[in-house]
Amino acid sequence: QVQLVQSGTEVKKPGASVRISCKASGYTFSDHTLFWVRQAPGQRLEWMGWIDAGYGDTKVSQKFQGRVTVDKDTSATTVYMDLSSLTSEDTAIYYCARRGYGSGHLYFDSWGQGTLVTVSS
């Protein structure tokens, strides 16, 4: 079955960077685009960036441009997200989510378990 397993809880100081990983299994890694979505306290879910696991194309939401980098290690079937210049407003749960297969299936059909990132001095 499809599994997305994320790295563990992070505690960072303001100004630092964080790298979160998401290991995919149970399907053909290169067939899907993987997204990063965050859920901050009291805020809506918001997408941050994505990577096409086959071609390697990436896109970062305008809100996070300059702070977010998304990449992958195909041999490890793992995608990564780096978020820099952390502030307390980046305290949130970060999810990786798989987009459905093909251009007609743009919803998120599987999610990782989430990674809590706490930013505190």
Partner 1 sequence: EIVMTQSPAILPASPGERVILSCRASQSVGSKLAWYQQKPGQAPRLLIYDASTRATSIPARFSGSGSGADFSLTITSLQSEDFAVYYCQQYNEWYTFGQGTKLDIK
Instruction: By CB under 8 A, name the one of 36, 108, 117, 119 that touches partner 1.
Output: 108
Q: Does 5 bind partner 1 (CB under 8 A)?
A: no
Q: Does residue 64 belong to the site contacting partner 1 (CB under 8 A)?
A: no
Task: Catalogue the E-assigned strands of the chain.
Answer: 3-6, 10-12, 18-25, 33-39, 45-52, 58-60, 68-73, 78-83, 92-99, 108-111, 115-119
Q: Does 106 bind partner 1 (CB under 8 A)?
A: yes
Query: Any contact of residue 47 with partner 1 (CB under 8 A)?
Result: yes
Choice from 44, 58, 65, 118 touching partner 1 (CB under 8 A): 44
In angstroms, the CA 5 to CA 27 distance is 13
Residue 45 CB, shortest distance to partner 1, in Å, is 4
Pick the binder of partner 1 from 53, 60, 112, 119 (CB under 8 A).
Answer: 112
Residue 59, helix vs strand vs coil:
strand
